[in-house]
Structures are given as structure tokens and as C-alpha cells.
Amino acid sequence: MFTGLVTDIGTVQRLESGAVTDVWIDSHYPSDFTHGESIACDGVCLTVVEARGPTFRVQAAPETLRRSTLGRWAAGTHVNLERALKLGDRLGGHWVQGHVDGVAQVQGVHDEGGSRVLRVSLPDALAPFFVEKGSVCIDGVSLTLTRVEAKSFSVMLIPETQTATTLGSKHAGDEVNLEADVIGKYVARMMGPRGGLTEEQLRAAGFTP
């Protein structure tokens, strides 16, 4: 479990394709990785299978490559990192599972005061789980939805978020990982088809109608 508060920006060192894809990532973390621990990489929950100092190796299954931007990573790609919560840690963002619901595209970027506004496409299947002032996880970053429209939503990045994560360098056309608020998904499950959700929307929330 994570909170969407990024604690480091890592750099992909290399990828090795096979039955699973091995990804080596350089970080600035202390050399205290535990074999089998979870780490969120651009919002994708992955397992540390090997570590050499602050550099660690994770593995991605074919489903992960299909459902996230990981399949487009290359050596030199910068990724947001967050290690899993410990019991007693502060919950500063929102409950994030690291289970990416889909990939969306940045449609526009503009500055407003000292903040930067990202407008991102909203897949139809995920639309029921997005509400204004609700939470969303974009590339592993917990953010508040400032506006929700039929086909897009907007978030606002304060200066700290712009510098502490990779989102400050996003431009129109870039792809990002989305994870809808898990509480909203469970509410949708309880509502079921009677709540007006389609089978596709329920599946997007991780449930079988």
C-alpha cells in the first residue's frame, strides 16, 4: 500500500526482455532494500527481486506492460518512486494500491499563478470513479481533481510537486498511468449495475459484473 507521495525520482538503467521484463533502476535511497519488498514505480506496484546498493531490479509481467506505460520505458527514463508504507507512517496523500487502471494522455498544460495545470484525457470506463475534489493517482503522484469533464479532467501542480516528481516536465501528448480512488471503486462495486455502471466500467474497477 502507498500514499502517492513520491520520495525519489529514479532513472531506468536498463531493461532485459524475456518471459518477464527485468528493469534495473538507479535511485537515491539508502542501501537497505529487502528482497521481495514492494515499490511503486510511476504508480506501478512492483517487487524488488535484487538490489545492488541504491540500484534495484524489479520484474514486470505481460499484464503490467499492457496496462501501464512501463512497456515504453527505455534506458534513461525518469520514474517516480515510493516505497511501501510501514505501520505507523503518516498518510499524507490517499490510499494507493499501485494497481494501474489505465493509460491516459496529457492533452494540455498551462501555468496558473505559480502552479501548473495538467489536463488529461479521461477514459470512458474510468469516468464514474472521477469526481471534482476527489483523488487520483497519476504516475504514482496523489493529486486532487480540480475539474472533471466528459472526456478529460484537470489537476493542479504546486511548485513542490513540479520539482519533486516527473509531472513538472510533462507536455501535451505524453502518456501517464492512472489509478482511480479505490474507495470510489468499491462504492461502484456496491452500486453494481443498478447504479447505472456498464460491465466495462465495473471491469475497469477490477470487478467482474
**Enzyme catalytic residues:** 2, 38, 45, 47, 61, 99, 144
The β-bridge partners of 57 are: 24, 50
Whether the Cβ atoms of residue 122 and residue 104 lie closer than 8 Å to each other: yes
Joined together, the cell numbers standing for residue 121 give: 484525457
Q: How many C-alpha atoms does 89 have within 13 Å on its Cβ side? A: 15
Distance CA(189)–CA(202), nearest Å, equals 7
Whether the Cβ atoms of residue 126 and residue 178 lie closer than 8 Å to each other: yes
